[in-house]
Amino acid sequence: MSRAWAIFLARKECPMTDAPPFHVVFAIFDRITQLDFTGPAQFLCRMPGAKVHVAAATLDPVMTDAGFAIVPTISFDDCPQGDLLCVPGGLGVPAALAATPLIDFVRRQGAAAQWVTSVCTGAFILGRAGLLQGKRATTHWGYTGQLPLVGAIYEPARTVFDGNVITAGGVTSGIDFALSVIAHLHGEDVARSIQLNFEYDPAPPYAGGTPGTSPEPIVTMMRERFYDARAAEMEAALNATA
């Protein structure tokens, strides 16, 4: 039995340990995509030693782009230094790029965190905070063309590691990113046990989910109806806050 696996089993039986907590900090803002946040949060909170902090500018409920709110657990001012910082994306990212308290918080946390991470378009907030310069990175497929605007080099992958910076692609990629981090820190057995715990065994009813695996007419329709305009909005926001 590996040491990491033994620690994991011991923690499940006896949560009180002498090990210092591993602080996982999520920086949230109005109109985040809740699954960008809740997907990895659900998995990372089961990682041995993890203590999750949901940080926002204030303790007021933060509206998601699904129409319901999430209540932060701590303010930016009171949040401890994270061992792992994660920034989710969402429809609110273009506006959030101009939110000085958020960008300053991400910059401060990112400067000292062991791991600096994002899900989906949260990559652009990392980039605006100066944390993606010269880094290989990914984001939601609809916005990959904008990554060079924050100094990043696009790499087509679901999860991209570059040093201590980890970026995940669109939305559900956040779960894969979380499992990859857990395996990196605690071994594959621990990651597999958490994967089994949540019965994460993706078997979608349709092939697709990426431009390369989806029918071309659907890709074209999604670009024309949604992502051409949203990418232009993101580019304008990035240029305005450069």
Would you name the residues annotated as active-site residues?
Answer: 120
Q: Distance between CA 132 and CA 22 in Å, rounded? A: 23
Q: Which structure tokens are listed for 32?
A: 């985040």
Provide the β-strand partners of residue 22: 50
Q: Distance between CA 36 and CA 53 in Å, rounded? A: 15
3-state secondary structure of 19: coil
26 neighbors 52 (Cβ within 8 angstroms) = yes
How far does the chain reach from its first CA to its final CA, in angstroms? 51
Q: Distance between CA 158 and CA 161 in Å, rounded? A: 10
Q: Distance between CA 224 and CA 216 in Å, rounded? A: 12
